[in-house]
Chains A and B, each alone.
Chain A
Amino acid sequence: MMDAVVSSEVGVDPGLRRDDEASRGDAALRFITCGSVDDGKSTLIGRLLVDSKAVLQDQLAGVHRAGAVDLALLTDGLSAEREQGITIDVAYRYFASPRRKFVIGDTPGHVQYTRNMVTAASGADAAVVLVDATKLQWRDAQPALLPQTRRHALLVDLLRVPSIVFAINKLDAVEDPALAYRHIAGALAAFSHAAGIQPRAVVPLSALQGFNVVQPAAGWAGYVGPSLLQLLETLPATTAEADQGFAFPVQWVEKFSESAETAQGRRVFWGRVATGTVQPGDAVRVMPSGQAAVVAQVLDAVRRPTRGIAGHSAGIVLDREVDISRGDWLLAHDAPAAVREVTGTVAWLDDEPLVAGRTYWALHGHRWVKARVQRVVHQLDVQTLAEQEAEALPPNGIGVVKLVLQEPLATRPFAKARVPGSLVLVDTATHRTSGALLVR
């Protein structure tokens, strides 16, 4: 297989396959692979890249370990990763099938690198959660899943990654693939139901052998359906929240006097529209000052007049002089009031625990405020999904906390509005990015 790829004529087709997606006008799909350590994530990505002919000759030449081809070496690029045979940080890879362009985030499985998995998940359109069939008691009617499988599925769902696909890997290494697939799929369905997760599919595969990764293996393991790649080709990209009220965090204030594009004496407020849309004539309110103004002009990322829509850069010129700085928000005139207290679900990413009573920096849009943890409402047990009492959240813990803010913020529930609903918490002493908070 590998030799065939290396020696096959590499001419027109692989290249066009790498980019042909764009000709159909589809957006690239950003997806991550996650799951427990040694579930075969890096091997799966290697298989996707090799079988879709996205790997170049010199890169393939570097993937031999102990005399054998090791597809994981295509993505494990750090020497510490090669030494240990594990993935520490996200590797981003780019490839295209005949139908679509893809960006893959290959994420670590180890619990202590959950933060890197969360990093990749925050920007993903889809997540492939890998389950290693050989690690489970697959002869049981409902085998117990590994904690990392549950943790990753919960985190991906929490972060509102639009599509979750479970992929049961290494089914070539079990005696009865069909039985193992049926039992493990049953356990995943039960867990998903209990956690309120709606997976798109449960696909059996062998990353090592290439079954169901790029080429469908009809009927294998009792499964008739698309291969993983075929499935990924059809998944939606994350939709911008254009149907919500207008919210716009001010990234950069351009002061000008000589600019030809706009009237003398005004300033342009640049940023990315978080939710909703904006056009000239719209009434807006400035947070935190509460001042009102009317939009005079909207520019796109490269300064052409336009209307602004969620997800895209915009430059906004107002009809009057208003004191606005980086970090302020422009909001629809009827937006809900800003708040001094926020309750949200936290994914804790620091090696030090989150401690009730401590003050952290919170970053919301481009605004930094001090935030004190008033209390930990509860911690989630990823095994049982039970809500437990807690005073602190351990590294990689998931829980709900209540924050008191130094200044009001215009938050919205994350379930409705990703940008206004998300904050990161930063340790005031070490400056490490310590937690992701999703507003309830």
Chain B
Amino acid sequence: MNARVDPQLLSRVSNRHLDALEEEAIFVLREVAAAFERPALLFSGGKDSLVLLKCAEKAFGSGRLPYPLLMIDTGHNFPEVTAFRDRRAKELGAELVVRSVEDSMRRGTVRLAYPGESRNAHQSVTLLEAIEEFRFDALIGGARRDEEKARAKERVFSHRDSFGQWQPKSQRPELWTLFNTRLQPGEHFRVFPISNWTELDVWQYIEREAVELPSLYYAHRREVVERRGLLVPVTELTPPRDGEEVVTRTVRFRTVGDITCTCPVASTAASAADVVAETIAADVSERGATRMDDKTSDASMEKRKKDGYF
């Protein structure tokens, strides 16, 4: 997806609308701090959660984050991202809570259908266990409505029942910015301060604010195989199948999730400005280009969200 954008045209793409998006995110982040007793911010080390963290730094002042960071570790994360996550949390002086799917597997609460199964969907179980352990009443996440059709339906303050389930048919009306944050025991909220941002907004913000990202987001050489139109990274967890040819390509990741279901795209973008240009020229959506697990069924995201997925 090399950019074919004339730099002169690109300079006309303003980023002034980012002020309003940032202000909305800060308003929501403060609302969570004020309205809930035990909130946490979901932090994966990915670009959306790093943008969220940047807004939180502005909302509360550097080093004064009023809630812990929570990471649900599938054990299948890219090592660059995990290292980055730990370093950023330390720099911010934030409390970082990590709970792992492997621990849930040891407890027997997660059982894989087969040994190589993606653990991405199983994160929900570990997440709900963490919510119960810490009695979290609000979890802030970096999901955006432009990512996917089920996400496009979600409220900014999304109510979850005592099973952690999203009930799309009976979401609470959300009028103006009068957020009804009342909970029954055992229930919680998922809160999405950057709901109204698009992938392009996120990259423009990363560029404007010089938000540091894991190196995977920028062009690098990587061994991949081509499978059903996707570039599948060759790793210990995702070895080539019989007959597949391993090739080295210059790629970057548009999202960094679980290794077993995240694919890079061909790209030479070496900076946030390059990525902004590529995103403007993109003809395939972020998830369409990169996620193996969303393709199984049109409603797969909705189903996972009903089961408690972020």
Residues in chain A within 8 A of chain B (CB atoms): 10-12, 14-16, 18-20, 22-23, 25, 27-28, 56-59, 62, 75-80, 82, 88-94, 101, 103, 115-116, 118-119, 122-123, 251-254, 259, 261, 270, 272, 301-303, 312-313, 326, 349, 361, 363, 365-366, 418-419, 422-424, 426, 431-433, 436
Of B4, B16, B20, B180, which contacts A431 at CB under 8 A? B180
Of B13, B288, B299, which contacts A78 at CB under 8 A? B299
Closest residue of chain B to A260 (Cβ to Cβ) is B61
B17 close to A91 (CB less than 8 A): no
Of A16, A79, A251, A254, which contacts B302 at CB under 8 A? A79
User: With a CB–CB cut-off of 8 A, which chain A residues contact B288?
Assistant: 56-59
A19 close to B13 (CB less than 8 A): yes
A77-B150, A91-B149 known; A301 vs B22 contact (CB < 8 Å): yes
Task: Flag whether B292 is at the interface (Cβ < 8 A).
Answer: no
Smallest beta-carbon distance B277→chain A, Å: 9
User: With a CB–CB cut-off of 8 A, which chain A residues contact B198?
Assistant: 94
Task: Flag whether B83 is at the interface (Cβ < 8 A).
Answer: no
Within 8 A of A (CB), among B167-221: 168-169, 171-178, 180, 182-184, 195-196, 198, 200
Smallest beta-carbon distance B174→chain A, Å: 5
User: With a CB–CB cut-off of 8 A, which chain A residues contact B270?
Assistant: none
Q: Which of B30-38, B100-108, B236-244 contacts A (4 or more CB under 8 A)?
A: B30-38
Task: Flag whether B153 is at the interface (Cβ < 8 A).
Answer: yes
B9 close to A19 (CB less than 8 A): no
B5 close to A12 (CB less than 8 A): yes
User: With a CB–CB cut-off of 8 A, which chain A residues contact B6?
Assistant: 12
Closest residue of chain A to B277 (Cβ to Cβ) is A15
Closest residue of chain A to B301 (Cβ to Cβ) is A77
- The CA of A103 and the CA of B197, in the complex, are separated in Å by 10
User: With a CB–CB cut-off of 8 A, which chain B residues contact A261?
Assistant: 61
Closest residue of chain B to A93 (Cβ to Cβ) is B152
A10-B283, A78-B302 known; A101 vs B175 contact (CB < 8 Å): no
Task: Flag whether B281 is at the interface (Cβ < 8 A).
Answer: yes
A-B contact pairs, 11 of them (CB 8 A): A10-B281, A12-B9, A19-B280, A20-B12, A27-B17, A91-B149, A94-B198, A363-B178, A422-B175, A431-B183, A432-B172
Chain B interface size band reads 35 or more
B13 close to A22 (CB less than 8 A): yes
User: With a CB–CB cut-off of 8 A, which chain A residues contact B12?
Assistant: 16, 20, 23
B200 close to A424 (CB less than 8 A): no
Within 8 A of A (CB), among B19-69: 20, 22-23, 26-27, 30-31, 33-34, 58, 60-61
Smallest beta-carbon distance B23→chain A, Å: 5
Task: Flag whether B97 is at the interface (Cβ < 8 A).
Answer: no
A77 close to B13 (CB less than 8 A): no
- The CA of A118 and the CA of B16, in the complex, are separated in Å by 29
User: With a CB–CB cut-off of 8 A, which chain A residues contact B285?
Assistant: 56, 58-59
User: With a CB–CB cut-off of 8 A, which chain B residues contact A89?
Assistant: 153, 168-169, 171
Smallest beta-carbon distance A123→chain B, Å: 7
A119 close to B174 (CB less than 8 A): yes
A115 close to B17 (CB less than 8 A): no
Closest residue of chain B to A77 (Cβ to Cβ) is B149
B175 close to A272 (CB less than 8 A): no
Candidate in A11, A79, A88, A101 with the most chain B CB atoms within 10 angstroms: A79
A363-B180, A431-B182 known; A436 vs B175 contact (CB < 8 Å): yes
Name the 10 nearest CB pairs between A and B, nearest first.
A77-B149, A58-B288, A15-B280, A10-B283, A22-B14, A79-B299, A252-B34, A122-B175, A431-B182, A115-B173
User: With a CB–CB cut-off of 8 A, which chain A residues contact B178?
Assistant: 363, 365, 422-424
Smallest beta-carbon distance A344→chain B, Å: 13
B180 close to A424 (CB less than 8 A): yes
The 0/1 profile, CB within 8 Å of A marked 1, for residues 141-164 of chain B is 000011011101101000000000
User: With a CB–CB cut-off of 8 A, which chain A residues contact B283?
Assistant: 10, 14, 56-57
Task: Flag whether B92 is at the interface (Cβ < 8 A).
Answer: no
B5 close to A15 (CB less than 8 A): yes
Task: Flag whether B289 is at the interface (Cβ < 8 A).
Answer: yes
Of B5, B23, B149, B200, which contacts A301 at CB under 8 A? B23
- Beyond A19-B13, A313-B26, A433-B174, 11 additional contacts (C-beta under 8 Å) are A15-B282, A23-B12, A57-B283, A57-B288, A58-B285, A77-B302, A78-B150, A122-B175, A123-B176, A251-B27, A436-B175
B27 close to A272 (CB less than 8 A): yes
A16 close to B280 (CB less than 8 A): yes
- The CA of A103 and the CA of B12, in the complex, are separated in Å by 21
A11-B4, A12-B9, A301-B22 known; A118 vs B284 contact (CB < 8 Å): no
User: With a CB–CB cut-off of 8 A, which chain A residues contact B27?
Assistant: 251, 272, 301, 313
Task: Flag whether B248 is at the interface (Cβ < 8 A).
Answer: no
A312-B23, A313-B26 known; A302 vs B58 contact (CB < 8 Å): yes
- The CA of A361 and the CA of B4, in the complex, are separated in Å by 55
A301 close to B153 (CB less than 8 A): no
A12 close to B4 (CB less than 8 A): yes
Smallest beta-carbon distance B115→chain A, Å: 30
The 0/1 profile, CB within 8 Å of A marked 1, for residues 278-306 of chain B is 01111111011100000000110011000
User: With a CB–CB cut-off of 8 A, which chain A residues contact B4?
Assistant: 11-12
Smallest beta-carbon distance A219→chain B, Å: 35
- The CA of A315 and the CA of B135, in the complex, are separated in Å by 31
Closest residue of chain B to A120 (Cβ to Cβ) is B174
A252-B33, A426-B182 known; A119 vs B13 contact (CB < 8 Å): no
Smallest beta-carbon distance A119→chain B, Å: 5
- The CA of A252 and the CA of B168, in the complex, are separated in Å by 30
User: With a CB–CB cut-off of 8 A, which chain A residues contact B17?
Assistant: 22, 27-28, 101
- The CA of A131 and the CA of B5, in the complex, are separated in Å by 41
- The CA of A89 and the CA of B22, in the complex, are separated in Å by 26
- The CA of A91 and the CA of B154, in the complex, are separated in Å by 8
A303 close to B58 (CB less than 8 A): yes
A251-B27, A252-B30, A433-B175 known; A88 vs B13 contact (CB < 8 Å): no
Of B26, B183, B200, which contacts A18 at CB under 8 A? B200
Task: Flag whether B15 is at the interface (Cβ < 8 A).
Answer: yes
User: With a CB–CB cut-off of 8 A, which chain B residues contact A116?
Assistant: 171, 173
- The CA of A100 and the CA of B278, in the complex, are separated in Å by 21
B34 close to A251 (CB less than 8 A): yes
- The CA of A103 and the CA of B198, in the complex, are separated in Å by 11
- The CA of A197 and the CA of B107, in the complex, are separated in Å by 62
A22 close to B15 (CB less than 8 A): yes
Smallest beta-carbon distance A42→chain B, Å: 11
